[in-house]
Amino acid sequence: MQLLERVKNCNGCGACVVPCKHNAVKLFDRNSEEAMEHLPNHHAKQTAEAAEFEATGSYGSKEASGAKKVAILNEGACDKCNACVLYCPIFNPVDIPEFDEWYEYDPAFDERDMPKYYRETMRMARSGKHTEFVGTLCQIAALKSLNGDKIPQNLILKPLLCTKEKQEQEPCCRECEFYK
Ligand code: SF4
Ligand code: SF4
Ligand code: SF4
């Protein structure tokens, strides 16, 4: 069963990629052929909205185009261990800290290889070194989920602010659970 069928409003955080021993989960641009093929019915409205954004030029802007990804599972390689979905902070929510200080979001942050960044961050934090992680709230939730729902004291979180304007650009961001 596809992750998109179990995870409403996948935001492409990439947490589900990390625990898969078979490398069976990959992130694709939300408007890619692969994503469209697997987007289930409950995503149809979002997909239509994304197409509308693209048609009107908003979703297709440099800042937004292809910025958001979705997780697609290669069912042929999957042994149905469920680890991917259990570490998904949408499927299995984690509490995230309240922040007083915020950092400005830049589209360049979307180009990062997040699964690799989570792994490197956790490795460094576990070695006891001072470690900093810069990410949106969904990425912070992903990191916390992957780290057993814990944030060690030497891991400093620097949250990127998703403005209302940014949230409006992405269908899944409009349904964001991390901004109340
Ligand atoms: S962890 Fe959940 S929200 Fe994040 S990319 Fe995977 S399925 Fe989507
Ligand atoms: S269920 Fe297990 S094997 Fe299948 S994609 Fe998820 S983590 Fe990988
Ligand atoms: S609004 Fe920000 S925190 Fe929420 S899903 Fe979108 S990128 Fe993630």
Averaged over 146-151, what is the pLDDT? Answer: 96
Which of the listed residues 136, 139, 143, 163 should we mutate to test ligand 3's pocket, taking the one with most ligand atoms within 8 A of CB? Answer: 136
What is the whole-number distance in angstroms between the Cα of residue 135 and the centre of ligand 2?
A: 25
3-state DSSP assignment of residue 113: coil
**pLDDT tops 70 at residue 97:** yes
- Residue 129 per-residue DSSP state: -
The counts of H helices and E strands in the chain are: 8, 5
Calpha distance 27→113 (Å, rounded): 10
Q: Which range in 34-38, 54-58, 108-112 is most confidently predicted, on average pLDDT?
A: 108-112
pLDDT of residue 46: 58
Report pLDDT digits (tens) over 154-174.
999 999 999 999 999 888 899
List the one residue out of 114, 93, 119, 92 whose CA is nearest residue 160. 114
Q: And the tokens for 140?
A: 């912070």
Kindly tell me the burial class for residue 104, based on how many C-beta atoms sit within 10 Å of its own C-beta (0-12, 13-18, 19 or more): exposed
**pTM higher than 0.85 for the full model?**
yes
| Residue identifier of the C-alpha nearest atom 1 of ligand 3 | 173
Query: How many angstroms does the Cα of residue 14 sit away from the middle of ligand 2?
Result: 13
Q: Which of 173, 177, 179, 180 to mutate to test the pocket of ligand 3 (most atoms within 8 A of CB)?
A: 173
Query: Is residue 140 within 8 Å of residue 179, measured between CB atoms?
Result: no
Q: Cβ-count burial of 70 within 10 angstroms (0-12 exposed, 13-18 middle, 19+ buried)?
A: buried
Nearest atom (ligand 1) to Cα of 11: 3
Note the pLDDT of residue 127.
Answer: 97
Average pLDDT of the residues of the chain: 87
Give the closest residue (by CA) to ligand 1 atom 4.
13
